């Protein structure tokens, strides 16, 4: 039985879960978890839209110039601009009059915290894998020497106590966006109104920054899946409000017939 | 679609099953097309199965993403050999220029010594534009290592997933309150 150590960190209005597979030295683990927490708290202080004292709220009120803000603001703003281009405008942090990188920051900060503070634990003897899940968006890393594989559950948006699908992962990220927890809170930047066609979108990618932005973009796109051919390097699953499910690998939709016992040789889908 | 075409596609699917197994379940586009073409051409020449394997390897060796060379090279040749012979009953030339109807075709699950493998092809503009692995052996962790190209397996497709150990959970962002009722919370508490 592979050992596992778990810590939780209240942050960003949710809870972050740190999982370390194997046996980590307690002092080393505590220091890594603290550093992880510092990264996430700093992201919260700088980017929170709920906190009037955050850098981006002060910038929105004209009380703080970008050059005087935390250097992460410029880094995130640049990342958001790239994401806006890559998603063809489905993701947009630069809404009129107000820079709101909410759909970007959690994935970006989580990926950064894992890379800078948890991944180094893999160099310690006995540590096989590390994972960080912040409120349902997660990034994992596994030592190349380990045969550990993470089994990631994707929550059923119709019943949050159930898992709809599972996906094996060694190094990568899974992000899910949707209305299951907090209602229709994702705004379609093209219409300035909440996106409503997709109940839940899950994107699996190397990078949680990319997966998080991608999941938001899939929700915004709604029933128009013309983004799919551009989704190379990712796989995922979306559930529409009518309950139908679409899955894709590397930009191609995959439909799976139920496993037949006396099957026709070939079934056009 | 008429019966001979179906058989041709099935031959490609069966052969591709072996090849995909050989290449560590890669699912990208261009290289697999050449692999499929190489396979279908060679499947007509069933006596030359070793040549088929090496040809196909050459045609896809340029892109190493996602394929783990160890474990698949020696294992794969036997799987590919048997699959190639099973698909060899149909002629091969037609498959390369078959003018298939556009669409997505799912092959039967093919039993291999490593477990079932099932692939799907997407036909676009009359030629195969994508080959995807939709079922693969799940009992070997190394074989499951497909990372960002991993296809989420719906619980309804498997019976084992119901009781599978879940390590982490992805879902819409819960609030601090929501966390208390979340699956992730239950996992965290069970493990700590």
Give the bridge partners for B122, in sequence order.
B104, B130
Using one digit for the tens of pLDDT, what is the confidence trace for A13-50?
A: 899 999 999 998 889 999 999 999 999 999 999 999 98
Gap from A178 CA to chain B (nearest CA, Å): 5
- Helix or strand or coil: residue A117? helix
As a whole number of angstroms, the distance between CA B34 and CA B58 comes to 10
Residue with tokens 């009992």: B139
Gap from A103 CA to chain B (nearest CA, Å): 11
Q: Which residues of A touch B178 (CB under 8 A)?
A: 14, 181
Per-residue pLDDT of chain A (269 residues; tens, 9 = 90+): 579 999 999 999 899 999 999 998 889 999 999 999 999 999 999 999 989 999 999 999 999 999 999 999 999 999 999 999 999 999 999 876 678 998 899 999 999 999 999 999 999 989 999 999 999 999 999 999 999 999 999 999 998 888 899 888 999 999 999 988 888 888 888 888 889 899 999 999 999 999 999 999 999 999 898 888 778 778 899 999 999 999 887 777 776 543 333 334 444 44
ipTM of the complex: 0.89
Contact B152 A17 (CB under 8 A): no
**CA torsion sign, B65 to B69 to B75 to B80?**
positive
Gap from B170 CA to chain A (nearest CA, Å): 4
Q: What percent of chain B has pLDDT over 90?
A: 3
Please tell me which of the candidates B129, B130, B153 has its beta carbon nearest to residue A166.
B153
Tokens of B41: 């051409």
Nearest CA in chain A to B25: A249
DSSP secondary structure code for residue A157 in this structure: T
Question: Are A252 and B130 contacting, i.e. CB atoms less than 8 angstroms apart?
Answer: yes
What was the pLDDT predicted at A92? 92
Q: Does the CB of B148 have a partner CB in chain A at under 8 Å?
A: yes
b (16+ CB within 10 A) / e for A35-71: ebbebbeebbebbbeeeeebbbbbbbeeebeeeebbe
Q: How far apart are the first and last CA of chain A?
A: 42
Please tell me which of the candidates A135, A235, A266 has its beta carbon nearest to residue B151.
A235
Best A163, A186, A247, A269 member to test B by mutation, with max B CBs in 10 Å, is A163
Pairing assessment for the beta strands A150-156 and B168-170 based on DSSP bridges: parallel
To the question of pTM greater than 0.90 for the whole model, the response is no
Contact B103 A269 (CB under 8 A): yes
- In order of A129, A144, A154, the CA distances from A147 in angstroms are 10, 8, 22
As a whole number of angstroms, the distance between CA A180 and CA A173 comes to 20
Using one digit for the tens of pLDDT, what is the confidence trace for A45-92?
A: 999 998 999 999 999 999 999 999 999 999 999 999 999 999 999 999
CB within 8 A of A133, min separation 6: which ones?
A16, A17, A19, B168, B169, B170, B184
What was the pLDDT predicted at A236? 92
Tokens of A38: 């510092």
CB within 8 A of A222, min separation 6: which ones?
A188, A195, A196, A197, A198
Contact A13 B152 (CB under 8 A): no
Cβ-Cβ contacts under 8 Å between A and B: the total is: 233
- In order of A91, A115, A155, the CA distances from B95 in angstroms are 42, 47, 41
Question: Are A17 and A8 contacting, i.e. CB atoms less than 8 angstroms apart?
Answer: yes
């Amino acid at each position: 039985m592979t050992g596992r150590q778990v810590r939780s960190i209240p942050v960003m209005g949710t809870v972050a879960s740190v999982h370390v597979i194997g046996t980590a030295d307690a002092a080393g683990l505590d220091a890594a978890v603290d550093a992880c927490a510092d990264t996430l708290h700093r992201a919260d202080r700088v980017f929170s839209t709920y906190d009037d004292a955050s850098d981006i709220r002060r910038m929105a009120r004209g009380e703080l110039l970008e050059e005087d803000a935390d250097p992460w603001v410029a880094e995130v703003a640049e990342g958001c601009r790239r994401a806006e281009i890559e998603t063809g405008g489905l993701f947009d942090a630069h809404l009129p009059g107000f820079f709101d990188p909410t759909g970007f920051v959690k994935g970006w900060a989580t990926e950064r915290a894992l890379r800078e503070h948890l991944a180094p634990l893999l160099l310690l003897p006995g540590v096989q894998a590390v994972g960080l899940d912040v409120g349902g968006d997660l990034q994992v890393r596994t030592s190349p020497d380990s045969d550990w594989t993470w089994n990631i559950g994707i929550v059923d948006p119709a019943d949050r106590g159930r898992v709809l699908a599972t996906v094996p992962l060694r190094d990568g990220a899974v992000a899910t966006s949707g209305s299951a927890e907090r209602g229709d809170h994702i705004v379609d930047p093209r219409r300035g109104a909440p996106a409503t066609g997709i109940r839940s979108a899950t994107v699996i990618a190397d990078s949680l920054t990319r997966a998080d932005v991608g999941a938001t973009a899939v929700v915004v796109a709604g029933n128009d899946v013309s983004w799919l051919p551009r989704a190379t390097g990712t796989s995922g699953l979306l559930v529409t409000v009518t309950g139908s499910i679409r899955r894709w690998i590397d930009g191609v939709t995959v439909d799976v017939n139920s496993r037949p016992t006396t099957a026709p040789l070939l079934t056009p889908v | 679609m008429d019966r001979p075409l179906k058989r041709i596609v099935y031959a490609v699917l069966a052969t591709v099953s072996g090849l995909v197994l050989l290449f560590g379940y890669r699912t990208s586009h261009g290289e697999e097309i050449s692999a499929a073409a190489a396979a279908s051409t060679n499947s007509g020449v069933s006596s030359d199965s070793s040549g088929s394997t090496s040809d196909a390897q050459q045609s896809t060796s340029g892109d190493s993403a996602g394929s783990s060379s160890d474990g698949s090279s020696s294992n794969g040749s036997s799987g590919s050999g048997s699959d190639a012979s099973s698909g060899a009953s149909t002629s091969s030339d037609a498959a390369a220029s078959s003018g298939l109807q556009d669409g997505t075709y799912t092959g039967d699950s093919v039993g291999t010594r490593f477990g079932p493998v099932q692939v799907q092809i997407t036909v676009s503009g009359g030629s195969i534009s994508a080959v995807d692995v939709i079922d693969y052996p799940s009992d070997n962790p190394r074989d499951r290592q497909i990372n960002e190209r991993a296809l989420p397996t719906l619980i309804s497709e498997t019976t084992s997933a119901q009781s599978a150990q879940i390590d982490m959970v992805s879902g819409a962002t819960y609030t601090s309150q929501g966390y208390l009722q979340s699956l992730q919370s239950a996992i965290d508490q069970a493990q700590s």
